[in-house]
Amino acid sequence: MKWYSAILFIVTLATGLIELWGGLKGEAVFQIFPSDVFGGLVLIVISAIFLRGITHNEHDAFLGFGSLMLAVFSVLYILVFFANGLDAWIVGDEWNPVDDLRVEIVLLPLAIPGLITLNRARKTLPP
Amino acid sequence: MDFVSELALARYEKIGEIVGKCVERVEKPKTFSDLIDTVVTDKYVGIPIFLALMWAVFQFAYTVSAPFSDAIDVFFSFCSDWAKSSIADPQLASLIGDGIFGGWGFVLVFLPPIAFVFLALAILEDTGYLPRAAFVMDRAMTKVGLQGKSFIPMLLGFGCNVPAIMATRTIEDETDRKITIMVNPLMSCSARLPVYVLFAGVFFEKFAGAVITSMYLLGIVLAAIMATLFRKFIFGGKPSPLLMELPPYATPTPRSVFMSAWNRTLIFLKKAATVLFIGAVIMWFLTTYPWDATNGGELIENSYASTIGHIIEPIIKPLGLDWTAGVALVGGFLAKEIVVGTLGMIYGVGEEEVANVIPEHFTPASALALMVITLIYLPCLATLGILRQELGSWKWTAFVIVYELVLAYVVAWIVYGIAAGLGVA
């Protein structure tokens, strides 16, 4: 699965750099890549986990945990998406769902193989 | 090494000796916790993972909770408007509408972010991650007289100092906990941001981002300096060594997570809400009375709050600030969010138009001084209530107030002096 870690490393690093660049520029580079310095840095951290896993003996641990981090942030931004919609409804503002759609949400399916690996380890190893 | 560490090491040595004689060792099977610890305590990615997870806690607490805060705000605004339009006596209407409903609104909009912080922390705690986070951060924190477990409350302080101070309950050592509580208000909470954004935007257009970031960095540097000084000159000793068993990872159950978050949130509701509510009514009185002179709170320059502002003016004049800044800072004691709104009320403009008016009352140097004072001068009323509760002493609470006031004045004076010297004024 090292090849899969390498793919995830490239994807998360690229998306993180685009978000970071947009954040420093003050405007989003592409539609679903928000201008978010901290969001970009978080993706770069996740990419670093995958990179570290490629060269480490415990490769599966890094793939699994990196995927878990990716899933955590995907779910978080799904919650933010709905929270912003609810907030706009409460205060009576207009809300365009596309504005709150982030690349992290789209990346969620990529975390599934790593999560399966992690779950398998949880079931086979003692706690 | 101190006595406690020596004792602990000697105990573990003895235990090892006895165990070595009595127990036959077999190869320890690798556990799931070992596997995860390989990643979260890794020397390269351990700290970045921790910071990323804390960012997730922030986002969860302050963005996901926003609709609930807004719903509470809308509800109490409705109650306030209803009271003011339904009660015939204007003074009673103002008391119930602005004082009581307004006061409850102020208190309860803080409830969702606080509850969400506790919810997120309960999840991290129940999974077994928090002890690992303390372990990862211990070395950096020890250098400034604190310990690993102090880092989480310090980081939470960037959101709101109230849940941050309550989060110090995870620190067992009383001295470490006290120092963490006492320097926590120096972490720039989100309520101070509107002040930075307004003044930096007006006076430092192109460099606004750098000025705002420098305020956050100033808070961190001051917290590190004060923690070191408190440890060295007041409490003595060294940070307690971080000796703890790392529990195995577990899947948190919804029941235990919600119970843990609820119990901590209830403490905030019972204690801080009482203090903040009373404070809100006091501020209502100060900005509304004498009733006739202020025309029911419309002419704030005739109010008791204005009188206080004029009393403060000679003290803040060397920093380039006038009585209006004094009143805004008094209002900021209630909640830092209302500093900008108070300035708008005094200048007779809406919050959106304040930016056009403030250059008549401030220079870039005095704007910097006001930002520095807002960062340091006093914890807000809710934080003060929690400080008193968690320190368990009026003496230490008073000490925090005094040191922050003195520090705010000295740092603001230095910043104003340097800025004026460089020709920024």
pLDDT tens, position by position, B357-410: 888 889 999 999 999 999 999 888 888 888 998 998 899 999 999 999 999 999
pLDDT of B350: 58
pLDDT of B355: 78
A-to-B residue pairs, Cβ atoms closer than 8 angstroms? 86
pLDDT of A64: 94
How many helices (H) does chain B have, and how many strands (E)? 22, 0
pLDDT of A27: 75
Asked if the Cβ–Cβ distance from B55 to A62 is below 8 Å, we say no
Asked if the Cβ–Cβ distance from B71 to A83 is below 8 Å, we say no
Whether B354 shows a pLDDT value over 80: the answer reads: no
Is the Cβ of B59 closer than 8 Å to some Cβ of chain A? yes
- Looking at beta carbons, which residues of chain A come within 8 Å of B67? 83, 86-87, 90
Spell out, as residue ranges, where chain A has pLDDT lower than 50. Answer: none
Give the closest-approach CA distance of B34 to chain A in angstroms. 9
Structure tokens at B247: 């529990």
Give the domain ranges of chain A.
2-124
pLDDT of A36: 82
Contacts of B247 (CB under 8 A, 6+ apart): B128, B131
Bigger pLDDT: B113 or B32?
Answer: B32
Percent helix, strand, coil in chain B (nearest 5)? 80, 0, 20
- Looking at beta carbons, which residues of chain B come within 8 Å of A46? 52
Contacts of A74 (CB under 8 A, 6+ apart): A104, A105, A107, A108, A111
pLDDT in tens, B90-138: 888 888 887 788 777 766 777 888 788 889 888 988 999 988 887 888 8
pLDDT over 90 for what percent of chain B? Answer: 22
pLDDT of B257: 92
Residue with tokens 């002890």: B131
CA nearest neighbour of A5 among A39, A56, A42: A56
Q: Averaging pLDDT over each range in B144-153, B166-175, B253-262, B318-327, which range is the top one?
A: B253-262
- Looking at beta carbons, which residues of chain B come within 8 Å of A60? 35
- Looking at beta carbons, which residues of chain A come within 8 Å of B55? 38, 42
Give the closest-approach CA distance of A85 to chain B in angstroms. 9
Closest Cβ opposite residue A90 in set B35, B55, B71: B71
The backbone torsions φ and ψ at residue A33, rounded to the nearest 5 degrees and listed phi first, read: -105, 95
- β-bridge partners, A33: A30
Whether B351 shows a pLDDT value over 60: the answer reads: no
pLDDT in tens, B37-93: 999 988 899 989 988 998 888 788 878 988 998 898 889 888 988 988 898 888 888
Q: Look up the ipTM and state it.
A: 0.94
Asked if the Cβ–Cβ distance from A83 to B66 is below 8 Å, we say yes
pLDDT of B106: 65
The backbone torsions φ and ψ at residue B94, rounded to the nearest 5 degrees and listed phi first, read: -65, -40
Q: Which residues of A touch B (CB under 8 A)?
A: 38, 41-42, 45-46, 48-49, 52, 56, 58, 60-62, 64-66, 69, 72-73, 76, 79-80, 83-84, 86-87, 90-91, 121-122, 125-127
pLDDT of B272: 59
Whether the Cβ atoms of residue B126 and residue B82 lie closer than 8 Å to each other: no
- β-bridge partners, A30: A33
DSSP characters for B141-158? HHTTT--GGGHHHHHHTT
pLDDT over 70 for what percent of chain B? Answer: 95
Q: Is A30 helix (H, G, I), strand (E, B) or coil?
A: strand
Whether the Cβ atoms of residue B309 and residue B323 lie closer than 8 Å to each other: yes
Closest Cβ opposite residue B35 in set A61, A69, A86: A61
Asked if the Cβ–Cβ distance from A127 to B51 is below 8 Å, we say no
Distances from the Cα of B113 to the Cα of B64, B159, B168, angstroms: 8, 9, 17
Is the Cβ of B51 closer than 8 Å to some Cβ of chain A? yes
Whether B425 shows a pLDDT value over 90: the answer reads: no
Determine the Cα–Cα distance for residues B157 and B317; give it in Å rounded to an integer: 30
